[in-house]
């Protein structure tokens, strides 16, 4: 056999090179196709993840929006729906502003229920027998976020705490030690729950408010945690006048002029007879009329409440539901809230408004202040170491006065002008205080005013959180 040359051998193997080249080309092509497929898949996964993440953020926005709305709304009202009918479930647990609400490039819909299981049809989560009712200040909020084809559901359990109680101890609540209350004027203090006046900018008689139709709870006109010293000195001159007349109605049995002569003094009474002297003594019992006198003034004080410790019509001394420390802690907490407006006494004097009914505010004044002229306000007003109200002062909400100065007792004076308060006046602190109601103030309990102010201090807390429902 003739020997093969190198050239002939190479010539015979030329086909293998083509095959190998084709195989390499096929492998490269498959690799490129796989890489392109993987890239497209990853892009789709990334796009879906992005949509789901966006849907999650949209659902979370629905949760936060709901929490902000629920600060200002009763859980029961929301669960019952706009028609206030628990049996008509079409709108139960659904606020109109939370249905298919557009946010960013998506939308959210929110359901509010009493339990976590069935957010579409409702269920009883607190054992009160009400599917669409709340008895423990807790509800479940389910937010469904949608972006494109992506859907994300988040559910949280929230609890609401009203820092300012809607039913305080009294229209005027006094919690300091050794308080002095001056009722020698014509103060009107009512613990009967009042509706707010039609106009926020009312003055005088148009600010009376109404108690019809009755609603909510009634409370004492004045409540004190400690024994109160009642200052009715100017009432002694009242005894020489009208209250003397009421005391001298017995004297009038002796003579027509004994009423006046009795009023002019005991010597006039002794001028009638020894008996009329006795009736003069009954005048002294009318004079014991310090309590009789304050009894006259209590005709302008009404409300509910008696305790075993003390009960005299609507002035109550006893064990409080909310004690001195509660109000001190609350005031300190409110002072440091982000939305609290802080003024010096000089700055506060120049203000004509401290919030409105539609936009109440928390106002803190760190020193004794006098409000004069015409001033309207709504929300929560906190003052340290004393405040004087004069002129046409109208406020709806809660006024907290802290008596903390070691130098002098705080004085809360309503001795002049026609100041009006709907809500509650709280006097608390570590030092004694004097509450001067000897002018013509009007202080009327209103749970509506307190509830409106509470939207500033209500705390909504998330108790639990879950997604992937």
Do 332 and 430 reside in the same domain of the chain? yes
134 and 213, same structural domain? no
Same domain, 339 and 412: yes
287 domain residue, yes or no: no
Q: Is residue 48 one of the residues assigned to a domain?
A: no
CA separation (Å) from 308 to 175, 181, 246, 305? 18, 21, 30, 10
Looking at the structure, tell me whether residues 218 and 94 fall in a common domain: no
**Domain of 371, in residue numbers:** 172-225+300-454
pLDDT score at 224: 92
Split into its structural domains, the chain has a count of: 2
Residue 246 placed within a domain? no
Residue 153 lies in a domain: yes
Domain boundary among 116, 140, 161: 161
Asked whether residue 109 falls in the same domain as residue 178, the answer is no
Do residues 153 and 176 both lie within one domain? no
CA distances from 364 to 316, 341, 373, 392 (A): 29, 6, 20, 20
pLDDT reported for residue 116? 87
Q: Does some domain include residue 95?
A: yes
Q: Answer yes or no: do 216 and 319 share one domain.
A: yes
3-class SS at 388? strand
The answer to whether the beta carbons of residues 367 and 344 sit under 8 Å apart is yes
Residue 187 to residue 425: CA distance in whole angstroms = 14
Show the low-confidence residues of the chain (pLDDT under 50): 1, 233-299, 306-311
User: What pLDDT is stored for residue 147 in this prediction?
Assistant: 94
Q: Under 8 Å CB-to-CB from 371, ≥6 apart: which residues?
A: 348, 349, 387, 388, 389, 390, 391, 393
Instruction: Report the pLDDT value the prediction gives residue 451, as an integer from 0 to 100.
Output: 86
User: In this predicted structure, what is the pLDDT of residue 13?
Assistant: 59
The helix (H) or strand (E) run that includes residue 224 is strand 222-224
- Residue 262 inside a domain? The answer is no
Residue 78 sits in the same domain as residue 214 = no
pLDDT tens per residue across span 115-158: 887 888 888 888 888 888 888 889 999 999 999 999 999 999 99
Q: Is residue 376 part of a domain?
A: yes
Residues 116 and 142 in one domain: yes
Last residue of one domain, picked from the residues 132, 161, 190: 161
- The per-residue pLDDT for range 339-367, each reduced to its tens digit, is 899 999 888 887 888 999 988 999 999 89
Domain-embedded: residue 244: no
Let me know whether 126 and 182 are in one domain: no
Same domain, 401 and 304: yes
Based on the domain organization, do 305 and 415 belong to the same domain?
A: yes
- Of 161, 186, 202, the position where a domain reaches its end is 161
Alpha-carbon gap, residue 389 to 316, rounded angstroms: 24
pLDDT for 259:
37
């Amino acid at each position: 056999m003739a020997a093969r040359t190198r050239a002939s051998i190479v010539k015979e193997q030329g086909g293998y090179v083509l095959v190998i080249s084709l195989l390499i080309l096929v492998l490269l092509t498959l690799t490129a196709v796989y890489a392109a497929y993987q890239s497209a898949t990853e892009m789709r996964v990334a796009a879906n993840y992005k949509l789901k993440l966006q849907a999650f953020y949209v659902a979370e926005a629905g949760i936060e929006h709901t929490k902000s709305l629920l600060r200002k709304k009763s859980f029961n009202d929301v669960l019952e729906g706009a028609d206030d009918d628990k049996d008509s479930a079409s709108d139960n647990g659904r606020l109109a502003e939370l249905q298919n609400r557009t946010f960013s490039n998506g939308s959210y819909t929110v359901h509010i229920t009493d339990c976590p299981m069935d957010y579409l049809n409702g269920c009883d989560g607190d054992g009160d027998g009400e599917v669409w009712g709340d008895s423990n200040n807790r509800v479940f909020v389910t937010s469904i976020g949608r972006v494109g084809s992506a859907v994300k559901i988040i559910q949280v359990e929230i609890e609401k705490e009203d820092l300012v109680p809607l039913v305080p101890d009294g229209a005027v609540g006094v919690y300091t030690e050794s308080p002095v209350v001056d009722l020698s004027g014509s103060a009107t203090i009512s613990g009967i729950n009042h509706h707010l006046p039609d106009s926020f900018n009312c003055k005088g008689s148009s600010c009376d408010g109404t108690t019809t139709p009755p609603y909510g709870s009634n409370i004492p006109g004045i409540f004190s945690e400690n024994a109160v010293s009642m200052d009715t000195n100017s009432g002694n001159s009242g005894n020489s006048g009208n209250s003397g007349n009421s005391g001298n109605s017995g004297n009038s049995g002796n003579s027509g002029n004994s009423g006046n002569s009795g009023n002019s003094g005991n010597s006039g009474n002794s001028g009638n007879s020894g008996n009329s002297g006795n009736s003069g003594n009954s005048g002294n019992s009318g004079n014991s009329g310090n309590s009789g006198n304050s009894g006259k003034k209590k005709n302008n004080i009404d409300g509910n409440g008696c305790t075993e410790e003390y009960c005299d019509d609507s002035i109550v001394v006893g064990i409080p539901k909310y004690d001195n420390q509660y109000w001190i802690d609350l005031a300190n907490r409110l002072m440091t809230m982000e939305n609290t407006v802080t003024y010096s006494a000089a700055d506060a004097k120049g203000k004509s408004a401290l919030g409105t009914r539609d936009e109440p505010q928390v106002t803190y004044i760190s020193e004794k202040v006098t409000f004069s002229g015409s001033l309207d306000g709504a929300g929560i007003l906190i003052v340290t170491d004393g405040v004087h109200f004069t002129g046409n002062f109208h406020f709806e909400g809660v006024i907290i006065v802290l008596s903390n100065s070691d130098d002098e007792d705080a004085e809360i004076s309503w001795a002049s002008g026609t100041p009006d308060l709907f809500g509650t006046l709280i006097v608390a602190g570590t030092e004694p205080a004097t509450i001067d109601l000897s002018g013509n103030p009007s202080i009327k309990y209103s749970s509506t005013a307190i509830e409106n102010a509470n939207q500033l201090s209500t705390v909504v807390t998330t108790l639990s959180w879950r997604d992937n429902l």
